[in-house]
Amino acid sequence: MKIAVLTSGGDSPAMNAAIRAITRVGIHRNCEVFGVFGGLQGILDEQFHELNSRSVSRILHRGGTILTTGRSEEFRTKEGQKKAAKILTDRGFDALIAIGGDGTMRALDALSNHWKGWLIGLPGTIDNDLYGTDYTIGFDTAVNNALEALDKIRDTAQSFQRVFLVEVMGRTAGFIAFHVGFATGASAILMPETQTTMEELAQKVIVAKDRAKSSVLVVVAEGDELGNAHRIAAELSERIGEKCRVSVLGYIQRGGNPTHFDRILATRLGAYAIECLLNGKHGGMVGEVDGNLILTPFEETWSKKKQIDQWMLGLLDELAG
């Protein structure tokens, strides 16, 4: 079997671990594995390079992706998808494995309408917003990166007895904010999955200060309905009569060496992708749910909504006390 592998969309830690597993397990099982450089656009530009065991040496611990990544406007069109299908066919590929987020899964689903080859997706995104897996590749590392930064911000907040709003990534899902907020003892967590008014937020902050808390930390997902952290802080400052400080973590969350958890998850999913193909299973995203490796149809990965733990969410006010 001749297999192409690529990374698409935003990078996430441990993508390299997945590439390594796909390459080495694939070669061990008599497959040819080719890396596609530049994401989906790399197919259209025919950036194929054969990989061997040495190609993926000493990458397990590295963040980012050795194949590089990107987004392709051309691939969004039917003409671009048909062109990609023809190139893959002409090059003799039997299967394509793509590592990325919901945009990547949508792209694979669209390509399936034009190409007879087999398609497998791996959930590579720090947002953890794909249905069909408990955790996505890179999420654990992103949370730990944010956690380390918030712990340091907390030191300053306590020293000056200030209110800090810290913005983390998450345009459509608040999993990073949720996990980091609980792990740092935040007084409030703002994220797309919950509705919080400015009045409710101001009351939470006032109550926290009345409890003689030396600092008040509010974690904000960038996609919250109230707006970004700067906008929220400006209005909150007026309501509580005190200037609120803001820190936007940004791309620091995506970088750095992947955690043990992400390296193992990426390795398991990469190896399982090869097993699926060799067993005739395709047309979906591999994931891990309750410790079991599964294959979820592409459309379900974005049409079904992964839920935030409502029981934990209900404990936030009690724990913030």
Which residues carry out catalysis?
Answer: 127
Residue 83's CB is within 10 A of a number of other CB atoms, namely 16
- Strands 163-168 and 2-7, sheet pairing: unpaired
Closest CA to 19 of 49, 44, 41, 46: 49
Contact in structure between 176 and 139 (CB atoms under 8 Å) = yes
Whole-angstrom distance, CA of residue 261 vs CA of residue 138: 9
Collapsing DSSP to helix, strand or coil, 247 comes out as: strand
Contact in structure between 81 and 114 (CB atoms under 8 Å) = yes
**Looking only at Cα atoms, what is the longest distance across the chain?**
69
What DSSP letter does each residue of 154-186 carry, written as one string? Answer: HHHHHHHT-EEEEEES-SS--HHHHHHHHHHT-
What's the 3-state SS for 53-106? HHHHCCCCCCCCCCCCCCCCCHHHCHHHHHHHHHHHHHCCCCEEEEEECHHHHH
